[in-house]
Amino acid sequence: MRYSVQLLTAALLLLVGLNAGAQTTADMVFESLDHDFGKIKEDAGSANFNFNFKNNGKVPLVISTVSASCGCTTPEWSKEPILPGKTGFIKVSYNPMGRPGSFNKTITVMANIPNGAIVLKIAGDVLPKSLSINEQYPIDLGKIRLLNNNLSFVRIKNNEKKTDSLKFINTSGAKVTIGLKGVLAHLTVKINPAVVEPNGIGYIVVTFDGSKVGELGFQMARVYLTYNGEENYNYGINVTATVEEDFSKMTQKEIQNAPIIDFNERVYDFGEIKEGKKVEYTFKIINKGKSDLQIRSVKASCGCTAANPTSNVIKSGKDTDLKVVFDSTGKLGLQSKTITIISNDPNQSTSILRISGNVSKAQ
């Protein structure tokens, strides 16, 4: 009998303990855990939504933190404890400016609830704002505006032609006749139309002829524009391309017997350099192929860097020195420069070496 009473007492104590434990957390019940804003305008200001909830628990509900997955989303919330049976809110504001397109964001709520956290979700589709002429064509070239003033052909073979164009608008308020200055031999440039009406659209059409470039590697040219016969060398466009040798007609046997360029290393760090000091390092250019490796061109990314190979022709299985000298005069802080080597290796005609260092003031 005494044993039965002890078991009953233990069971009652356990039940009381469980009930007490169940009352140590609140119960946060939301009307909805997600919200779709649908379509909203980019320039209409922040979109807001209140996630309303009720505390169905038996103790006050305390929200410790509310954090969003993106800085574009700002949460506000009930800061005072929410008594049992009472309601509160999590207000979420989404800023669509500069964020056209669809979005999905999360908001994590930390509180004295089971598992300690609950995740809310918002979604929608931002309709882009109407752009002004200045926003559509941000580059101001006097009487016309362009989306950009740099035309890059990226890579082009030395027997290839490519054509591309830049779109512009006449914002001068009058007719403009556009002419050209400084067009190099490998470029053909046309203005279409040559006479542009006020608010009229035109195109600068450029053809790049790789066969007329004197050397391989990166090429940059600046073409200047004239308006109504008046020259102004502040107005122009840049045309760039990396000209490469065409190996497409090589036979499989020729490729198997071709030179293969390699280096003892491709990156070198000089470490600490006192400003005004010249430092140097010698890379090894190695030919691991079966025929002569010919160095077509060596160019440094900065006039502060000189790079010269001992020989421009490297026999199979041989190597040559490439001495690189960096002049730190006028340079302070972290420096990173590149040396581009153009060769007749059909699988790696362009190779890039890098040097770096930290230039500090001389004592």
* pLDDT tens-place string over residues 261-280: 999 999 999 999 999 999 99
Tens of pLDDT, residues 220-229: 999 999 999 8
Average pLDDT in the chain? 90
- Alpha carbon 304 to chain centroid distance? 27
Contact 362, 276 (CB under 8 A): yes
Which tokens go with 299?
């160019």
Mean pLDDT score, 172-183 = 94
- What totals of helices (H) and strands (E) does the chain contain, helices first? 3, 27
Q: What ranges in 218-352 are assigned the alpha helix state H?
A: 252-256
Q: How far apart are CA 75 and CA 55, in angstroms?
A: 19
Kindly state the tokens that stand for 133.
């002429």
* CB-facing half-sphere around the CA of 232: CA atoms within 13 A: 10
Structure-block tokens of residue 49:
């939504």
Mean pLDDT, residues 50-75: 94
Predicted confidence (pLDDT) per residue in 199-249, tens digit: 999 999 999 999 999 888 889 999 999 999 888 888 999 999 999 999 999
Across the beta sheet with 28-30, the strand order is 28-30, 47-55, 87-94, 73-77
Length of the chain: 363
340-358 pLDDT, tens per residue?
A: 999 999 999 999 999 999 9
- Could you give the C-alpha distances from 65 to 19, 68, 343, in angstroms and in order? 27, 10, 61
Q: pTM of the entire structure?
A: 0.62
Listed in sequence order, the residues at least 6 apart from 59 whose beta carbon sits closer than 8 Å to its beta carbon are 23, 24, 25, 26, 84, 112
Say what percent of the chain tops pLDDT 90.
82
List, for residues 288-321, the tens digit of each pLDDT value: 999 999 999 999 988 899 999 999 999 999 999 9
C-beta of residue 50 within 8 angstroms of C-beta of residue 65: no
Per-residue pLDDT reduced to its tens digit, 98-132: 999 999 999 999 999 999 999 999 999 999 988 88
- Reading the block at residue 199, the tokens are 């608010």
Query: What is the mean predicted confidence (pLDDT) over 322-343?
Result: 94
Q: Is 192's pLDDT higher than 90?
A: yes
For the chain, domains (ranges, CATH) are 22-127 (2.60.40.10), 133-244 (2.60.40.10), 252-360 (2.60.40.10)
pLDDT of residue 342: 92
pLDDT band with cut points at 50, 70 and 90 for residue 25: confident
Torsion of CA 34, 39, 43, 45, to 10 degrees: -30
Q: Which amino acid is at 226?
A: T
Q: What is the pLDDT of residue 8?
A: 40
CB distance 306 to 339 below 8 Å: no
Whether the pLDDT of residue 36 is over 70: the answer is yes
The predicted pLDDT at position 362 comes to 81
Q: Residue 12: pLDDT above 60?
A: no
* pLDDT, average across residues 151-161: 93
